[in-house]
Each structure stands twice: as C-alpha cells, then as structure tokens.
C-alpha cells in the first residue's frame, strides 16, 4: 500500500500538452498524489516527460500505462479523438480515470464509457478546462487586482 495515489498521465508531452500546463503543476502541489508513469506516442517524448515530471515509467501507449502495476489513477489528457481508447484501456485494467472533456465522441460513446466505469467499480471523472472559462478568468483577474470577497457580496 502506498501513502499516495499513484498517477499515470496519458498525453504528457512536456513541451506542448495540456497536462504539462495544468495537470502536472496541480498534481505536484498535492501530497495525496504521486506521478509514477507517463505516456506519449513517441519514445523520446515519453522519456523526456518522465524526466521532467519525475515519473519512474515512460510508455508509448495508454494500454501500456494502464497495465502498469504502479498506477492507480489514469489521467487522459490527449486530443478528444483519443479519449475513448485511453479510457477503455484504463477501465480494462480496473484503474480509476480522470478524462478531459468530452468523455466520448458523442452521447452514445460517453454513455458506454460511463457504464463501463460503473461495471469496473472505479471512480471516474471528467475534467473541464475551466482555466479558460470566462467566469474563472474574471475571478482570477479580480483577485489579482486586489478585489475582495466582501466587494462581491450582496
């Protein structure tokens, strides 16, 4: 048993990925999680990502990452067309999943993946890139400008 949840990130390119910009900084700030594995489509970038993010394992496929015994939770942070195969790979291995939105290509695929997660008995969630949300950006800018909670209370 580990003291933290061991995380594998699919789509971990250290130079260009959403994971590099958002997931890795968030995971690094939380003691409850440890990044143990990364996957990209190329061996070189997978190795670079492992080095950059301190992961012990580097893979070139979601299926390889999901099969790793040192992974409890799979973060799927690839182009949306790759979400379903990566989520299926994680669920087939009984891994918990955090997938970027959208989960599937359409309602039917999303429902199928949701049902598969239920059958697998794992926790699954969909992340939305709220960082780009206008209300979130407004609040960020408001706080950065010195605004306080009292100023927005009725």
- pLDDT score of 153: 46
CA distance linking residue 138 with residue 134, whole number of Å: 6
| More confident position, 114 or 152 | 114
| More confident position, 125 or 146 | 125
Single pTM value for the model: 0.83
> What residues have CB less than 8 Å from 14, skipping those under 6 apart?
20, 45, 48, 49, 52, 53
CB 124 within 8 A of CB 114: yes
pLDDT tens digits, 72-114: 999 999 999 999 999 999 999 999 999 999 999 999 999 999 9
The CATH number of residue 70's host domain is 3.40.50.720
Structure tokens at 143: 């706080």
- How many Å is the Cα radius of gyration of the chain? 17
Q: Containing domain of residue 23, as a range? A: 5-152
Indicate the pairing of strand 124-127 with strand 96-100: parallel
Q: How many independent structural domains does the chain possess? A: 1
Q: Distances from the Cα of 144 to the Cαs of 79, 119, 131, 136, 148, in angstroms? A: 31, 44, 15, 12, 10
CB 94 within 8 A of CB 68: no
Q: How many residues are listed for the chain in this entry?
A: 154
Q: Distances from the Cα of 128 to the Cαs of 98, 103, 113, in angstroms? A: 10, 10, 17
């Amino acid at each position: 048993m580990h003291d933290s949840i061991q995380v594998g990130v699919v789509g971990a390119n250290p130079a260009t990925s959403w994971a590099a910009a958002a997931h890795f900084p968030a995971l690094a700030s939380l003691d409850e999680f440890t990044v143990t594995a990364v996957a990209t489509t190329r061996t070189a970038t997978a190795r670079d990502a492992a080095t950059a993010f301190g992961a012990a394992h580097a893979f070139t496929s979601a299926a390889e990452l999901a099969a790793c015994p040192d992974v409890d939770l799979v973060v799927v942070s690839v182009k949306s067309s790759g979400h379903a195969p990566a989520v299926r790979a994680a669920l087939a291995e009984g891994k918990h999943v955090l997938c970027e939105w959208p989960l599937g290509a359409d309602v039917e695929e999303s429902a199928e993946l949701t049902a598969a997660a239920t059958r697998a008995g794992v926790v699954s969630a969909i992340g939305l890139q709220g960082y780009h949300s206008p209300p979130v950006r407004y609040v960020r800018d408001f706080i950065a400008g010195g605004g306080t909670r009292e100023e927005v209370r009725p």
